[in-house]
Amino acid sequence: MPNMRYLILQRDTKLEFVEMPTDYAYQLSALNLRLNKEIGKLTAHEVPVLPVAVAECDHLELLREQDQIVSGLHYLNELEQAFASIRETEYPLISLLTEIRALQAQMEQWYEEEAI
């Protein structure tokens, strides 16, 4: 069983829990910080609301039934879709999409290798 880390993200008052392989959790935290820093520079009207990474941990036990853990790949797929749909004309959005897609590709490869 691979070692996993959990990122705890906050979107408004809601917490989100993302499970990542230990070797990639830092990359998702760093990506989240960068996206939150850069999103204010976008000029498009339909910009996604991003959660903020508030914590990482090695072990996570959820105590409320309504909470659930999502895989890092699922989270990255949704993030990529949200940013790909932005109609930006001023800010070089492609650089942010490239970072998202790079981590997304790493996660896809990781899951393929783990399935073997």
DSSP string, 66-114: T--EEEHHHHHHHHHHHHHT---SSS-HHHHHHHHHHHHHHHHHHHHHH
Bridge partners, 55 (sequence order): 8
CA distance 12 to 35: 16
Predicted local distance difference test score (pLDDT) of residue 115: 64
pLDDT in tens, 51-62: 999 999 999 999
- Residue 35 pLDDT more than 70? yes
Phi-psi region of 34 (alpha: psi -120 to 50; beta: other; left: phi over 0): alpha
- Residue 64 pLDDT more than 70? yes
Give the SS3 label for residue 50. Answer: coil
Bridge partners, 16 (sequence order): 9
Q: What is the mean pLDDT of residues 43-57?
A: 92
Comparing CA positions, the residue from 86, 103, 85, 110 lying closest to residue 34 is 103
How is residue 77 written in tokens? Answer: 């797929």
